[in-house]
């Protein structure tokens, strides 16, 4: 067996071990979205893969469009619903997804003959706390990251067909991030234009065609395309306008501490090594100099782009910034080896010593990163959602309400847990507030004030209302949302919880000191 084969197998085993370890180091669920995703897969398992109804989010465009923006990902998750312990299925799926994403990163580096490919993958894993934490999530974003790295690798060196399949599979799995391979190929193309090299039109057509095929392979592609527009374009417009939807933390720009912990460590190394590359670029082997410059400027540009996105638009891009940053570091180090080997005056023993020093420096950096990332990521996991998140309240609803009753989930992110444990009932929204906002702005604002814990007496169908436009909350719940039950968590809606204890328009029917259910009664004048 060749050394390279043994090395690749060993790397795969190590990466699998890391993926399993970070997933099962805590019994908690890192993100409740995984509960939604695996349950949507369960719906396909029970009703067939072309089943397109989704009544569980009653006041969301997802119900009306009858489309699934994560269709391929949900098909992938179907086998994980065969485990008797579905929580184990969620976590096992998360470990498999992380492993495959890391394996794609390793492959992307290895096929470009990057030195110490495994070391760079490990460096990426610990490069930032949110990178390590996101690898524990049972979400399609990890797949999208892996395909993005592969797109860069094949965009720099490879044919058009691999790019087509990368783009098609990526779009099929996760349509909302189908733009990633397109962006990467366009950046590489722009670099080639600046370098006055021939434009690789086949790769541009391949990445565009792949995205279209990935869209068309799902049922109701036009509906899915509209969901793409809502989650990507409309969401960006809403954020730029400053409309205060209750987004998840990952969709907010980075703060000062996020910049210091999540972006700066890798970015600083990239900048330092960029100066090294610029200094040595003219002394690289003549036959490969242009190729190295294309690789560097493409990877460096993408690192800058994702750093800007993470810092000023959404911190969800931490993994992309750090991934492309580590990729850039790996390219520069390998180019430096090529530079050394091209210098006839440098003794082979000096080159060997330099290689060992670089390897040692990489391992030291990994250790330093780990002290920041592993500690904080473990803290995240220990404080994450319990494996029985919303189980008790869901069980009460199943036993005390009728099938099809609409439950008002006071926060949109309760949906994953409620849906996982109870598919008997329907809910007002889920997955992302932009889908509720796109369905009906007036209804969104009515639910928004309740979710924000300020609408416990009255709510409103506009962001600002006059006295005459105010709507009694129980009237909104009963008549506008057709909901007689409201679920809340004490920690997020304390004012509502305590005020309603004394309000005759509501009856507390379930309370486990963490979650509560109120029955909504007709207005008492």
pLDDT in tens, 417-436: 999 999 999 999 988 899 99
Residue 334 binned pLDDT confidence (cut-offs 50, 70, 90): very high
For the chain, what percent of residues have pLDDT higher than 70? 99
- Which residues neighbour 36 within 8 Å (Cβ) at sequence distance 6 or greater? 415, 416, 419, 420, 430, 431
Nearest to 121 by CA among 104, 141, 96, 142: 104
The count of other CB atoms within 10 Å of the CB of residue 4 is 9
pLDDT at 524: 66
pLDDT in tens, 69-107: 999 999 999 999 999 999 999 999 999 999 999 999 999
* pLDDT for 467 beyond 80: yes
The whole-number average pLDDT for the span 226-240 is 93
Q: What local confidence, expressed as pLDDT, does residue 361 receive?
A: 87
478 pLDDT more than 90: yes
Predicted confidence at residue 172, as pLDDT, reads: 98
Other C-beta atoms within 10 Å of 291: how many? 15
To 5 degrees, how large is the angle CA 94–CA 98–CA 102? 175
Partnered with residue 488 across adjacent β-strands are: 516
For residue 19, which phi and psi values (nearest 5 degrees)?
Answer: -60, -40
Predicted local distance difference test score (pLDDT) of residue 315: 86
Question: Residue 43: is its pLDDT beyond 90?
Answer: yes
Q: Evaluate if residue 346 carries a pLDDT over 80.
A: no
pLDDT above 90 (res 349): no
Residue written as token pair 């810092």: 311
Paired tokens of 176:
């909302």
**525 band by pLDDT with thresholds 50, 70 and 90:** low
Q: At what angle do helices 289-312 and 141-156 cross, to 10 degrees?
A: 150
Burial environment of residue 246 by CB neighbours within 10 A (0 to 12, 13 to 18, 19 or more) = middle
pLDDT mean over 5-21:
93
The 3-state DSSP composition of the chain as helix, strand, coil percent (nearest 5) reads: 70, 5, 25
Select, from the ranges 69-78, 250-259, 286-295, the one with the highest average predicted confidence (pLDDT).
69-78
Please give the model's pTM, rounded to 2 decimal places: 0.94
Of 213, 310, 196, the C-alpha closest to 252 is 310
Distance, in Å, from the CA atom of 252 to the CA atom of 174, rounded to the nearest integer, reads 21
- Residue 119 has which token pair? 């070391």
Structure tokens at 448: 């928004």
**pLDDT per residue over 481-505, tens digit each?**
999 999 999 999 999 999 999 999 9
């Amino acid at each position: 067996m060749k050394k390279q084969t043994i090395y690749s197998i060993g790397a795969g085993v190590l990466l699998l071990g890391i993926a399993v370890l970070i997933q099962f180091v805590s019994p908690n669920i890192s993100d409740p979205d995984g509960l939604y995703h695996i349950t949507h897969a369960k719906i396909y398992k029970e009703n067939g893969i072309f089943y397109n109804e989704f009544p569980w989010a009653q006041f969301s465009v997802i119900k009306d469009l009858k489309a699934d923006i994560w269709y391929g990902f949900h098909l992938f998750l179907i086998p994980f619903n065969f485990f008797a312990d579905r929580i184990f299925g969620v976590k096992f799926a998360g470990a498999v997804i992380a492993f495959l994403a890391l394996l794609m990163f390793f492959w992307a580096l290895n096929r470009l003959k990057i030195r110490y490919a495994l070391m760079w993958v490990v460096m990426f894993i610990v490069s930032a706390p949110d990178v390590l934490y996101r690898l524990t999530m049972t979400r399609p974003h990890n797949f999208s990251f892996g395909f993005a790295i592969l797109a860069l690798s094949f965009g720099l060196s490879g044919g058009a067909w691999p790019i087509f399949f990368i783009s098609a599979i990526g779009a099929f799995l996760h349509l909302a991030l189908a733009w990633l391979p397109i962006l990467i190929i366009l950046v590489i193309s722009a670099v080639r234009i600046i370098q006055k090299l021939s434009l690789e039109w086949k790769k541009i057509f391949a990445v565009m065609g792949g995205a279209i095929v990935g869209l068309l392979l799902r049922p109701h592609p036009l509906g899915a395309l509209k969901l793409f527009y809502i989650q990507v374009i409309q969401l960006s417009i809403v954020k730029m306008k400053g409309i205060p939807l209750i987004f998840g933390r990952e969709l907010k720009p980075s703060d000062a501490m996020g910049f210091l912990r999540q972006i700066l460590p890798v970015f600083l190394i990239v900048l330092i090594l960029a100066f090294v590359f610029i200094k040595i670029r003219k002394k690289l082997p003549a036959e490969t100099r242009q190729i190295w410059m294309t690789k560097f400027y493409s990877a460096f540009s993408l690192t800058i782009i994702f750093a800007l996105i993470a810092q000023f638009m959404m911190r969800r891009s931490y993994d992309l910034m750090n991934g492309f940053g580590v990729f850039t570091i790996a390219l520069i180090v390998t180019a430096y080896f090529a530079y050394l080997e091209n210098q006839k005056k440098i003794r082979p023993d000096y080159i060997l010593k330099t290689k060992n020093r670089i390897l040692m420096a990489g391992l030291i950096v990994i250790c330093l990163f780990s002290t920041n990332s592993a500690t904080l990521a473990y803290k995240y996991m220990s404080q994450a959602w319990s494996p029985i998140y919303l189980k008790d309240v869901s069980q009460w609803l199943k036993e005390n309400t009728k099938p099809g009753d609409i439950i008002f989930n006071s926060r949109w992110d309760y949906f994953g847990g409620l849906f996982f444990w109870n598919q008997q009932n329907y809910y007002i929204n889920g997955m992302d507030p932009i889908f509720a906002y796109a369905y009906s702005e007036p209804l969104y604002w009515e639910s928004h004030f309740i979710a924000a814990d300020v609408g416990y007496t009255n709510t409103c169908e506009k962001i600002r209302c006059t006295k005459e436009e105010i709507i009694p909350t129980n009237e909104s719940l009963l008549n506008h949302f057709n909901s007689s039950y409201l679920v809340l968590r004490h920690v997020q809606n304390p004012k509502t919880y305590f005020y309603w204890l004394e309000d005759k328009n509501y009856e507390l029917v379930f309370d486990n000191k963490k979650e509560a259910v109120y029955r909504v009664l007709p207005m008492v004048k």
